[in-house]
């Protein structure tokens, strides 16, 4: 039987600073949930709370209705990778996995199985972790998370340091894991990879959920796409009217307004339109930038005016 992660009204404060603010979501069995947000949005804090590493100020984060710390031998139920660099640099990869296996009461033959699964050779497994590349540390961390064949995987930026072949391997591994009924919570700044693999999306900004739901529904056509004889003037007018407007791939502007609203603004601005239509299925990057525009650490120049 596979299980789910449930987060309800989760808040974490550090003095006057609120890192996570009334966050609620669920990660379901058989699905990959992509957890997205700008730097400092609260993703890692939320995942640390779920994994029992950071206590919440209020709210709950449970696995099948139980706090992580109350699960017997929790690493056999939840595979966690939050920081690939947080591994003992003086031990070999194989030693780290054998210690984990012994701690969890697993047969040591499982170590060789997961090493092969993550494509770490016997020679690489025998090296000390201080001599590992970041990509190798990621593979070792994923191997550790998979060691007990857990029901849940929770991975924070697992593709860091992986080459394109490694990213493809990780994508395939997680997809197959979810297809067998596992629950996957995946945080990543590689939006293209999330767009390919995720079934559900959670977008967080400044500690608050700004959007969540099935990927196909969130990326369905919304807003409008417009081309004009003067996109800069129209873009400025749309921003001044309170709409998020961004340059569209292939030219024109995507905007979170209905076509009728865009038409009126273009008329008032005396800008002639070449094309105006409802939004197509958008990509994840466009949705992400639109939803997190007010919570980005790196704000666009000129308050987001299209150029």
Tokens of 198: 């995720």
* Residue of 61 and 87 predicted with greater confidence: 61
pLDDT for 177: 93
- pLDDT beyond 90 at 188: no
Q: What is the pLDDT of residue 222?
A: 63
For the segment 269-280, the average pLDDT, to the nearest whole number, is 87
- Cα–chain center distance at 246: 22
Higher per-residue pLDDT: 208 or 195: 208
Mean pLDDT confidence for 167-185: 93
Q: By percentage, how much of the chain surpasses pLDDT 70?
A: 91
**Res 281: pLDDT:** 55
Which domains does the chain possess? 5-218 (3.40.50.300), 224-304 (no CATH)
Please compute the mean of the pLDDT values over residues 252-277 and round it to a whole number: 91
Average pLDDT over residues 11-33: 96
Of the candidate ranges 70-79, 172-181, 255-264, the one whose mean pLDDT is the lowest: 255-264
Q: Identify the pLDDT of residue 186.
A: 95
Instruction: Give the range among 125-139, 140-154, 157-171, 229-243 with minimum mean pLDDT.
Output: 157-171
Residues in the chain: 307
Token digits of residue 141: 């961390």
């Amino acid at each position: 039987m596979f299980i789910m992660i449930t987060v309800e009204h989760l808040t974490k404060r550090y003095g006057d600073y609120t890192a996570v603010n009334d966050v609620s979501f669920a990660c379901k069995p058989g699905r990959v949930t992509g957890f997205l947000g700008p730097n400092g949005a609260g993703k890692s804090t939320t995942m640390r709370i779920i994994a029992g590493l950071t206590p919440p100020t209020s709210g709950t984060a449970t696995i099948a209705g139980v706090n992580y710390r109350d699960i017997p031998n929790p690493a056999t139920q939840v595979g966690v990778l939050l920081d690939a660099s947080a591994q003992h640099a003086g031990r070999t990869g194989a030693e780290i996995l054998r210690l984990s296996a012994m701690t969890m009461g697993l047969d040591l033959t499982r170590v060789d199985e997961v090493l092969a699964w993550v494509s770490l050779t016997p020679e690489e497994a025998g090296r000390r972790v201080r001599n590992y590349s970041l990509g190798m540390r990621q593979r070792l961390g994923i191997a550790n998370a998979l060691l007990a064949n857990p029901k849940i995987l929770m991975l924070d930026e697992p593709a860091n340091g992986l080459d394109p072949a490694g990213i493809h391997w990780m994508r395939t591994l997680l997809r197959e894991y979810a297809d067998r009924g596992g629950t996957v919570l995946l945080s990543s700044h590689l939006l293209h990879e999330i767009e390919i693999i995720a079934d559900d999306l959670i977008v967080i900004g400044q500690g608050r959920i700004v959007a969540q739901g099935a990927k196909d529904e969130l990326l369905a056509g919304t807003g409008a796409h417009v081309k004009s004889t003067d996109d800069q003037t129209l873009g400025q007018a749309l921003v001044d009217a309170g709409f998020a407007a961004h340059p569209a791939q292939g030219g024109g502007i995507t905007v979170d307004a209905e076509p009728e609203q865009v038409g009126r603004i273009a008329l008032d601005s005396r800008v002639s339109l070449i094309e105006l239509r409802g939004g197509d299925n958008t990509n994840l990057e466009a949705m992400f930038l639109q939803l997190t525009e007010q919570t980005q650490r790196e704000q666009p120049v000129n308050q987001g005016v299209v150029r």
